[in-house]
Amino acid sequence: MSVFDRLTLAEDLLDCQGRVVARRGLVVSPESIEEAAQHARPAPRRALADTPLGGDLEVALDDPAYRALFARAGARDAVARAVAAAGLTERLVEELLALRAERPALHLHAFTTAAVAVRMLLSAVGGARALPDLAAAALLHDLGMRHVPATVVERADRLEIREAHRIAAHPLLGAFQLARELGPHPAVAAARCHHWRCGQGYPGMGAAPSRAVEVVSVASAFAALTRPRAYRSAAYDARGAADVIVAEVLAGHADANTAKLLVHALRGGRGDPRAIRFGGAREGHAPEVNRHAPVAAPGRSPL
């Protein structure tokens, strides 16, 4: 298990408009992230529906790959309402618009993760008051990937060590940026913890994240598996992606109850998700070629 839980910036951390988020030499750590959140002066937020991003969820909701998730009567509309209510500051709207223009795969991943996470949460908690904030957390959880060069993200072959370290840094970078912008908010924990993998991922953490953050993590993994990637010949279908996540549970790398929420949602969301029993993987649901290897976190600051 890696103990990597902090990094020292080798260059200024900038937002999409070139504004300085953090200066070179800053140690980004759980402590500095918490301090940034406590001292933040969050700007007003407006609902996603009232921004130029308001229609961007439709691509995920209408994708045949996710038909089973939204097949139950009312499920699609309930997800759309919750995500539309997600509150974003103007600077975060700018970030998502920049992703749409410059990194469309990351933009699509954000909206797909939000749709999947909200569908899972609706199965568990219904229309809870916290749902719009959790939808925002899912939308923003991978913001740190904007600080990773596109050439690294789109590599089809094995990453070099330094490139892997750049990817390993993105949860901390995203969490710090969101802490500065939003203060204490579920998006900060979602950004920092979504690659935790029950202590087998990165960065290191002293305790498990909340169940809501675990939902964002599983939704993010499912969204990534069901989209094309340079390192595999095709995307997984929904069954194949669920099989991968169940295998992660059996290996101790994912939370079983959260994975059950995903399977429960894929089965229509009826009954008690705790009664779900995992089946074995089936052939024909995975890509023929898959060169993916999990990123190993460094034992020290990667930057």
Residue 1 belongs to some domain of the structure: no
Pairing of strands 27-28, 7-8: antiparallel
Does 26 map to a domain? yes
- Residue 293 lies inside a defined structural domain of this protein: no
CATH number for 145: 1.10.3210.10
Q: Which of 79, 88, 78 is nearest to 47 (CA)?
A: 88
Residue 80 lies in a domain: yes
Of 26, 17, 132, nearest to 84 by C-alpha is 132
Q: How many domains does the chain have?
A: 1
Segments forming the whole domain that contains residue 29: 7-275
Check residue 300 and give its pLDDT: 53
Report pLDDT for 2: 42
d(CA 188, CA 288): 36
pLDDT of the residue at 301: 53
| Exposure string over 67-98, b if 16+ CB within 10 A, otherwise e | ebbbebeebbebbbebbbbbbbbebbbbbbbb
Here the tokens at position 17 are 């408009």
The pLDDT of residue 224 is 95
- pLDDT at residue 290, rounded to an integer: 67
Taking the C-alpha atoms of residue 11 and residue 22, their distance in angstroms, rounded to an integer, is 9
CA angle (177, 178, 183) in 5-degree steps:
120
DSSP string across 117-164: HHHHHHHHHSS-TTHHHHHHHHHHTTGGGGGS-HHHHT-SSPPPHHHH
Cβ contacts of residue 283 below 8 Å, gap of 6+? none
In a domain, 108, yes or no: yes
Per-residue burial over 128-160, b = 16 or more CB atoms within 10 Å of its CB, e = otherwise: eeebbbbbbbbbbbbbbbbbbeeeebebeeebe
**Spatial contact of 113 and 151, defined as CB atoms under 8 Å apart:** no
Would the pTM count as exceeding 0.85? Answer: yes
| Identity of residue 230 | A
Residues of the chain with pLDDT under 70: 1-3, 127, 280-303
Instruction: State the pLDDT at residue 296.
Output: 59
Name the region of 252 (left: φ>0; alpha: ψ -120 to 50; beta: rest): left
Is position 282 within any domain?
no
Say what the pLDDT of residue 164 is: 87
Distance CA 136, CA 88 (A): 7
Classify residue 164: in a domain, yes or no.
yes
The residue to which tokens 């298990």 are assigned:
1
240 vs 284: CA distance, rounded Å:
8
